[in-house]
């Protein structure tokens, strides 16, 4: 599974996240060209290499008419934009459909947070700092870069919001700013510092993309991006992004094998016992023919179950078979991830397809029951039905 992990020990802002993400791509200059082709009005993206307390980091700056708007004393005098104004800008951008959808949803979540913070309806919200063109450019850049990375999951550390107060269009506000605090509901966050470290834009990006806030999970890191904030602080003002492969959730599970033998049960009795053992929580039950004492033919049974369901499975074995002893082996099992989807044939019929993947392997097969039903319907063999269906999908 392809995993993106964000280290937010120094908070997060839109430009920091975009700078970290562009450090993960194989060709940053090509990615920069793609950003400049988005068509954000009057904007141009530029990459800068900055030193943050001895750490080399990338800052993705946005120039408005050649000037970085965040440094402009004219910023607060710019026209305030409504949500509809911002969405019109986003819709005009040359973003892939998925990235554009993400950008729209991110700004919609900011609008809801601002409305809640100020006690107004969403259409009445007028964006100030987060409505500036550079903020729109940051959101668009992050959405495009995340879309290009094609990750399966994004997780993040607890978010450091900073401390103290921040001056904005509404005056001096406590950190985190009201909208930021609302956007971070449900996230793991804390305060450590004397200035704002997490901006509303950064909080909205995390809220939209991050599935969970945890310490770095096990992963094989393949690339590291380091995004720089503009300000110089006592600690490195950076956000680090780690891209790599995480082991499948199905890899290396601890399971129990319960093994026993019987030589005095019929096939019907064993089938009934198997059903009861499955009902007790077993993951698998299998029987193999063996020769036992006095050369009597019998069966060796192997029951696979979780450690938690072991006692229930043992009880079911003793209750439903004639065995008087069970051997236990603690094992680890490795599974491919399993998925199922439905394909619709030109005739309108639906066929289920099972796919397994993991450990560099991927394969698919048609659901046997659906193949059998198709064979019965047409009066052909199972193999003919399978080949015919594969040719239609």
pLDDT (tens digit, 9 = 90+) per residue, 338-384?
A: 888 898 888 888 899 999 988 778 999 999 999 999 999 999 999 99
302 band by pLDDT with thresholds 50, 70 and 90: very high
**Residue of higher predicted confidence among 266 and 1:** 266
Angle CA 315–257–267, to nearest 5: 65
CATH superfamily, with its number, for domain 253-333: Transcriptional regulatory protein pf0864 domain like (3.30.70.1380)
**Residue from 159, 154, 109 nearest 130 by CA:** 109
Q: For 60-97, how does the pLDDT look when each residue is reduced to its tens digit (9 = 90+)?
A: 999 988 777 554 434 444 457 888 989 999 999 999 99
Confidence (pLDDT) at 72: 42
Beta pairing partners, 62: 45
Q: What pLDDT, on a 0 to 100 scale, did the predictor assign at position 281?
A: 94
- Are 170 and 120 in contact by the 8 Å Cβ rule? The answer is no
What pLDDT score was predicted for residue 21? Answer: 98
Alpha-carbon distance 49 to 47, whole Å?
7
Q: What is the pLDDT of residue 334?
A: 83
The H-or-E segment that residue 239 falls in is strand 238-245
pLDDT of 123 above 90: no
Tell me what pLDDT residue 131 has. Answer: 58
SS3 label, residue 65:
coil
Q: How confident is the model at residue 148 (pLDDT cuts 50, 70, 90)?
A: very high
Over residues 315-336, the pLDDT tens digits come to: 999 999 999 999 999 988 888 8
**Does residue 250 surpass a pLDDT of 50?**
yes
Minimum mean pLDDT range among 77-86, 201-210, 224-233, 347-356: 77-86
Q: CATH 3.30.70.1380: which residues of the chain?
A: 253-333
Look at residue 122 in the predicted model and tell me its pLDDT: 78
| Closest alpha carbon to 314 in 270, 277, 339, 349 | 277
Lowest mean pLDDT among 104-108, 225-229, 245-249: 245-249
Reading the block at residue 86, the tokens are 């911002």
Query: According to the model, what pLDDT value does residue 71 have?
Result: 46
Q: Which of 76-80, 104-108, 263-267 has the lowest mean pLDDT?
A: 76-80
When comparing pLDDT for 33 and 131, which is higher?
33
Higher pLDDT residue, 69 or 158? 158
pLDDT for 133 equals: 86
- Residue 346 has a pLDDT of 82
Q: What is the pLDDT of residues 8-54, one digit of tens each?
A: 999 999 999 999 999 999 999 999 999 999 999 999 999 999 999 99
Query: What pLDDT score was predicted for residue 132?
Result: 79
CA angle 140, 141, 142 (to 5 degrees): 95
Question: Does residue 165 carry a pLDDT above 60?
Answer: yes
pLDDT for 336: 84
Which residues, at least 6 apart from 355, have a Cβ–Cβ distance to it below 8 Å? Answer: 338, 339, 340, 341, 362, 363, 364
pLDDT of residue 75: 42
Tell me the pLDDT band of 249, cut-offs 50, 70 and 90: low
pLDDT at 247 over 80: no
| C-alpha torsion angle, residues 356, 98, 116, 127 (rounded to 10) | 150
Least confident of 105-119, 126-140, 284-298, 328-342: 126-140
The pLDDT score that the predictor gives to residue 127 is 77
Mean pLDDT taken over the chain: 91
Are β-strands 189-190 and 159-160 bridged in parallel, bridged antiparallel, or unpaired? parallel
**Higher pLDDT among residues 376 and 169, named by residue:** 376
State the Cα–Cα distance between residues 133 and 204, nearest whole angstrom: 16
Q: Report how far residue 196's alpha carbon sits from residue 172's, in angstroms, rounded to the nearest whole number.
A: 12
């Amino acid at each position: 599974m392809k995993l993106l992990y964000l280290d937010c020990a120094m908070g997060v802002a839109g430009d920091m996240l975009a700078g970290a993400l562009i450090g993960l791509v194989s060709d940053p200059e090509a990615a920069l060209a793609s950003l400049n082709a988005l068509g954000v009005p009057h904007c141009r993206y530029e990459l800068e290499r900055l030193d943050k307390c001895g750490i080399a980091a990338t800052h993705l700056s946005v120039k408005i008419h050649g000037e970085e708007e965040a440094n402009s004393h004219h910023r607060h005098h710019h026209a305030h934009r409504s949500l509809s104004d911002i969405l019109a800008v986003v819709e005009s951008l040359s973003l892939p459909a998925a990235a554009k959808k993400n950008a729209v949803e991110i700004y919609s979540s900011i609008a809801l947070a601002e409305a809640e913070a100020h006690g107004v309806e969403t259409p009445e919200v007028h964006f100030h700092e987060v409505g500036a063109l550079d903020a729109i450019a940051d959101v668009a850049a992050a959405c495009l870069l995340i879309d290009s990375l094609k990750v399966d999951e994004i997780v993040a550390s607890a978010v450091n919001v900073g401390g103290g107060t921040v001056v904005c269009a509404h005056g001096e506000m406590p950190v985190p700013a009201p909208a930021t605090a609302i956007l971070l509901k449900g996230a793991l966050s804390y305060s450590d510092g004397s200035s704002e470290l997490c901006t509303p834009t950064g909080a909205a990006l995390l809220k939209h993309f991050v599935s969970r806030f945890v310490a770095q999970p096990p992963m094989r890191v393949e690339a590291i991006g380091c995004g720089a904030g503009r300000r110089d602080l006592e600690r490195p003002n950076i956000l680090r992004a780690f891209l790599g492969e995480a082991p499948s959730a199905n890899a290396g599970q601890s399971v129990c094998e319960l093994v026993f033998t019987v030589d005095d049960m019929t096939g019907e009795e064993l089938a009934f016992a198997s059903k009861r053992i499955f009902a007790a929580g077993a993951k698998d039950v299998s029987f193999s023919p063996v020769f036992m004492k006095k050369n009597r033919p019998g069966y060796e049974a192997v029951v696979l179950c979780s450690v938690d369901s072991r006692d229930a499975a043992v009880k079911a074995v003793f209750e439903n078979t004639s065995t008087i002893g069970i051997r236990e082996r603690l094992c680890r099992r490795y599974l491919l991830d399993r998925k199922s989807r439905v394909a619709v044939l030109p005739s309108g019929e639906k066929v289920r397809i099972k796919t397994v993947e993991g450990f560099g392997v991927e394969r698919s097969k048609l659901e046997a029951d659906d193949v059998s039903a198709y064979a019965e319907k047409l009066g052909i063999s199972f193999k003919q039905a399978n080949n015919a269906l594969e040719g239609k999908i």
